[in-house]
């Protein structure tokens, strides 16, 4: 087998997504590798110009008229429909707005209400990104339910006639483990409970298949693999068949059947609009819309294939360069269990990450001992991967 | 008395805030008058450059490092402290983020929890902007309380030992009526209940005096008189003495005592940070921060004096130009009951507003028969006011 550098060049030459890299603003320093796109995606080149137009012309010149003339009012559903094919959803089921945490709250309370009487338990992924757990606790408290943390693979055994809702992560934020969305969703459905999936670490990195697998509700952020920018608005998916039963705990005026009727009685709108709350955050929302244009012509299957090739190659380079025993991968070896990141357990991980960043190799540190590297198929190449692994080895030896 | 045009010129010449107009992007057409700053404030000239820097340099070049190096992480409280003097609050009590509706929800649920056992009724302004009523209904439902709509001046009589929280608007969105914040807050406190004020239509237009009058909780938007841009993030004020008792229904990871500890147990942070939820929306938030710079050196008392002079002069011009009986002002005559807008009831108000907008005089229409005109003292002059009234008369006669 040839050396990693040669293999990287060959893989880059064969990369069907290679041309996409030019659609992002990336460091031009040769030794810089951005492996934190699973935390904050890189800037797509089309975004600054669009944002400038939104600020100077739409806001500055048209002002209030832009709510209709620049399509501000309909942006949450329009951008939702742009995200839909990336997560396997037909149009009309996704609305963009608010943070992921707020959307988890909407989804969970609505899920408990849908589940109906006699179901008073919420199951939550015990290894979840903390905010989902905190919000689930609040949703349980406010709906008079019990919250029960369960490891994802123990969910089927934990389901019962008491289960109202199950909140799961598609990909674990720490280890990068990909959970079995089709199987777990089917189990939840079979138990008569409502499934809620958090797609923060999967959407834009691998196929999700929301419609195909019969997911009930889902949420996700847009600033990781979707490159929407810092704190860009999250989204909420409600399966079309559940729209009429979606009873939001945050029924703001934007979700009203007649928002400008200014009626004192609340009457929910029809469809995805029920997931709206207050006035949408236009600057961030339209920056996201511009960012989503990089997905034109991209097949999610090609993204997934490249993502797996990138993480495989990274693990291969780590094995080749890093002394055995110095790091331990927490990321599953099996493709069907792997997301688009690699988590390496390592002594002094915090300090190691600081030194990597000084060298231009940017990942992140997750307490207490994890080096986390994200692989973003739209703008990373195999040479980046090889270089990152080599710098990691140098830092670990130094 | 001289004619309105001459009086307008004299008033403009004496205007201590006149120079502020140059800090905003305004139409250069002579006949255009923007009277919708109470819905979407005009663009401050400093905003586009700042946003460009945030997008191109902070996001595009520094990427994830900006969370610390560009002050992204601390923006919600930093910008809260910038708003604080405009609403009479000492630093450390305001956090920026989420929509007004979401903040009303946080405030009301937290208020009911603070009020304690035996208090199971929420009073809400019966004339409120609808979203506050819808969200109050949800907060009541989720906390097992009863919601009771009451006209603001009937609140003192409606208070009882059952009252947990009272949600009021400082200025009525439709009529422009200014409610008695000091008196009503004192009455709510005397009854042992928690006051929640919505400042959307007052902050930036008149003194609020949150600390001085002992307000418990307050929320407000930033895209009206604070000119933060379309859908810019709202804010939440929690009186310092109540921070330890502020028990949020949306305890996202950003409000945790140790957000990067990634702990599964929720432990709220100290101070205003408790009002945070998820990842803050940085583009919109930093656009708002740039917009707030126009307040440097501005006394809120001067804004209030000019606001009253503008609305007085508008009513005077309407009396002078518009045939008697054609419109009826819903806005109180007494200064102590007037916000910074004028609402005129008028037959065919929808159509009249369309024709006004065609002529460049932009206000808004509120169902079913109200012409609403907002007066923004930082960038409106008296000649604008005179011209708007004259065009209104022409349209009404036409």
Under a CB-based contact definition with an 8 Å cutoff, are residues B385 and B313 in contact?
yes
Asked if pLDDT for residue A398 goes beyond 90, the answer is no
Q: What is the pLDDT of residue B351?
A: 96
Q: Do A59 and B66 touch (CB under 8 A)?
A: no
User: Is B211 strand, coil or helix?
Assistant: coil
* Residue B364 annotated to the active site: no
Going A226 to A228 to A233 to A239, the CA torsion angle's sign is negative
Q: What is the pLDDT of residue A29?
A: 74
Nearest to A231 among B51, B174, B280 (CB): B280
User: Is B65 strand, coil or helix?
Assistant: helix
The residue in chain B having the minimum alpha-carbon distance to the alpha carbon of residue A253 is B131
User: Is A150 strand, coil or helix?
Assistant: strand
Phi-psi domain of B258 (left: phi exceeds 0; alpha: psi -120 through 50; beta: other): beta
Q: What is the pLDDT of residue A1?
A: 67
The alpha carbon of residue B76 is apart from the nearest alpha carbon of chain A, in Å, by 12
Identical fold between B4-38+297-397 and B73-295? no
Q: What is the pLDDT of residue B192?
A: 97
Q: What is the pLDDT of residue A262?
A: 85
For chain A, positions 122-141, list CB contacts with chain B under 8 A: 126, 128-131, 133-135, 137-138
Tokens of A264: 């004192």
Would you give per-residue pLDDT tens digits along chain B (398 residues)? 689 999 999 999 999 999 999 999 998 776 789 999 999 999 999 999 999 999 999 999 999 999 999 999 999 999 999 999 999 999 999 999 999 999 999 999 999 999 988 999 999 999 888 899 999 999 999 999 999 999 999 999 999 999 999 999 999 999 999 999 999 999 999 999 999 999 999 999 999 999 999 999 999 999 999 999 999 999 999 999 999 999 999 999 999 999 988 888 999 999 999 999 999 999 999 999 999 999 999 999 999 999 999 999 999 999 999 999 999 999 999 999 999 999 999 999 999 999 999 999 999 998 889 999 999 999 999 999 999 999 999 999 97
Q: Do A138 and B277 touch (CB under 8 A)?
A: no
User: Is A123 strand, coil or helix?
Assistant: strand
ipTM score: 0.97
* Residue A225 annotated to the active site: no
For chain B, positions 337-376, list CB contacts with chain A under 8 A: 357, 362, 364, 366-367
Helix axis angle, A4-13 to A382-397, nearest 10°: 160
Point out which residues pair with A149 in neighbouring strands: A124
Neighbouring residues of A157: CB distance < 8 A, sequence distance ≥ 6: none
* Residue A266 annotated to the active site: no
Asked if pLDDT for residue A246 goes beyond 90, the answer is yes
Question: Among A198, A216, A281, A364, which one carries the catalytic annotation?
Answer: A198
Asked if pLDDT for residue A89 goes beyond 70, the answer is yes
Question: Rounded to an integer, what is the distance from CA B230 to the centroid of its chain?
Answer: 13
Q: Do A59 and B229 touch (CB under 8 A)?
A: yes
Q: What is the pLDDT of residues A251-269, one digit of tens each?
A: 999 999 999 888 889 999 9
Q: What is the CATH number of domain B4-38+297-397?
A: 3.90.1150.10
Q: Is residue B101 part of an annotated ligand binding site?
A: yes
For chain A, positions 14-33, list CB contacts with chain B under 8 A: 25, 27
Nearest to B133 among A27, A264, A281 (CB): A264
Question: Rounded to an integer, what is the distance from CA A190 to the centroid of its chain?
Answer: 26
Q: What is the pLDDT of residue A2?
A: 87
Between B81 and A398, where is the model more confident? B81
Architecture of domain B73-295 in this structure = 3-Layer(aba) Sandwich (3.40)
Neighbouring residues of A237: CB distance < 8 A, sequence distance ≥ 6: A87, A89, A93, A94, A210, A215, A217, A218, A219
Q: What is the pLDDT of residue A27?
A: 81
Q: What is the pLDDT of residues A134-175, one digit of tens each?
A: 999 999 999 999 999 999 999 999 999 999 999 999 999 999
The string over B320-358, giving b where at least 16 C-beta atoms fall within 10 Å of a residue's C-beta and e elsewhere, is ebbeeeebebbbeeeeebbbbbbbbebeebeebbebbbe
Architecture of domain A49-295 in this structure = 3-Layer(aba) Sandwich (3.40)
Asked if pLDDT for residue A28 goes beyond 80, the answer is no
Rg (CA), chain A: 22
Architecture of domain A4-45+298-397 in this structure = Alpha-Beta Complex (3.90)
Q: What is the pLDDT of residue B153?
A: 95
Chain A touched by B176 (CB under 8 Å): no
Neighbouring residues of B290: CB distance < 8 A, sequence distance ≥ 6: B44, B46, B47, B49, B50, B51
Question: Among A105, A223, A313, A382, which one carries the catalytic annotation?
Answer: A223
Task: Count residue pairs from A and B with Cβ separation < 8 A.
Answer: 256
Q: Is residue A138 part of an annotated ligand binding site?
A: no
The string over B78-106, giving b where at least 16 C-beta atoms fall within 10 Å of a residue's C-beta and e elsewhere, is ebbbbbbebbbbeebbbbbbbbbbbbbbb
Q: How far is CA A392 from CA A195, A319, B74, in A?
A: 39, 11, 31
Tokens of A244: 């009429």
Domain boundaries, chain A: 4-45+298-397, 49-295
């Amino acid at each position: 087998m040839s050396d990693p550098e040669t293999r990287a060049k060959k893989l880059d030459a064969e990369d069907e997504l290679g041309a996409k890299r030019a659609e992002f603003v990336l460091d031009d320093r040769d030794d810089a590798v951005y492996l934190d796109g699973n935390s904050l995606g890189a800037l797509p080149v089309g975004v600054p110009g669009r944002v400038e137009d939104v600020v100077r012309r739409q806001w500055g010149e048209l002002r209030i008229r832009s709510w209709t003339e620049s399509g501000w009012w309909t942006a949450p559903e329009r951008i939702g429909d742009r995200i839909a094919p990336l997560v396997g959803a037909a149009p009309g089921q996704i609305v963009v707005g608010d943070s992921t945490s707020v959307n988890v709250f909407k989804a969970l309370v609505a899920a408990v209400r849908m589940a109906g009487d006699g179901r008073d338990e919420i199951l939550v992924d015990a290894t979840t990104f903390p905010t989902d757990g905190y919000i689930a606790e609040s949703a349980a408290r406010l709906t008079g339910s019990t919250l029960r943390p369960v490891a994802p693979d123990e969910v089927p055994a934990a389901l019962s006639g008491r289960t109202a809702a199950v909140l799961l992560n598609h990909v674990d934020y720490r280890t990068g483990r990909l959970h079995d969305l089709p199987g777990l969703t089917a189990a939840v459905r079979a138990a008569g409970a409502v499934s809620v999936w958090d797609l923060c670490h999967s959407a834009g990195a691998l196929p999700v298949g929301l419609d195909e697998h019969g997911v009930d509700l889902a949420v996700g952020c847009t600033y990781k693999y979707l490159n929407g920018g810092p704190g860009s608005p999250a989204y909420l998916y409600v399966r079309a068949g559940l729209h009429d039963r979606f009873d939001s705990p945050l029924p703001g005026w934007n979700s009203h059947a007649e928002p400008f009727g200014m009626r004192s009685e609340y009457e929910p709108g029809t469809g995805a609009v029920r997931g709206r709350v207050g006035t949408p955050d236009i600057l961030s929302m339209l920056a996201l819309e511009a960012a989503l244009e990089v997905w034109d012509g991209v097949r999610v299957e090609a993204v997934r294939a490249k993502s797996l090739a990138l993480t495989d190659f990274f693990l291969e380079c780590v094995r080749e360069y890093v002394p055995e025993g110095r790091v331990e991968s927490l990321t599953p070896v099996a493709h069907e269990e792997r997301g688009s990141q690699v988590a390496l357990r390592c002594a002094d991980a915090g300090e190691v990450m600081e030194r990597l960043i000084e060298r231009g190799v940017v990942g992140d540190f997750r307490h207490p001992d994890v080096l986390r590297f994200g692989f973003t198929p739209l703008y990373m190449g195999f040479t980046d991967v090889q270089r990152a692994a080599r710098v990691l080895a140098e830092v670990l030896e130094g």
